[in-house]
Amino acid sequence: KAGVTQTPRYLIKTRGQQVTLSCSPISGHRSVSWYQQTPGQGLQFLFEYFSETQRNKGNFPGRFSGRQFSNSRSEMNVSTLELGDSALYLCASSSSPEGAPLHFGNGTRLTVT
């Protein structure tokens, strides 16, 4: 079974631009979560989607948004990029919301200059 796939692996953007990151979950997984990882803040939860519905959202500004498609693929969008948005963005899928472990992708390294 193919793992969680995130594209692209690396991105360099300029302040003020917007960016879209993509995530394809493991086949059959309907729950997709996004996390931001930085050296200072560690791993922080962004949001979780299940069957195209956002079930939970972390404490991030409205510039961060996401969506999930009917095939469970998910996209995350960050608008009006700031320098502090530079981070590793990890996508994870799970087979159900109840107690199942997360399966992570390799992440997208976003650098904002």
| DSSP-based three-state secondary structure for 33 | strand
| DSSP-based three-state secondary structure for 83 | helix
How far is 97 from 55, CA to CA, in rounded Å? Answer: 10
100: left (phi over 0), alpha (psi -120 to 50) or beta: beta
Residues that bind other proteins (CB under 8 A): 31, 33, 35, 42-43, 45, 48, 50, 55-56, 58, 88, 90, 92, 97-99, 101-107
Q: How far is the CB of 29 from other proteins (least distance, A)?
A: 12
> Looking at beta carbons only, is 36 or 81 nearer to other proteins?
36
Q: How far is the CB of 77 from other proteins (least distance, A)?
A: 19
Q: How far is the CB of 16 from other proteins (least distance, A)?
A: 27
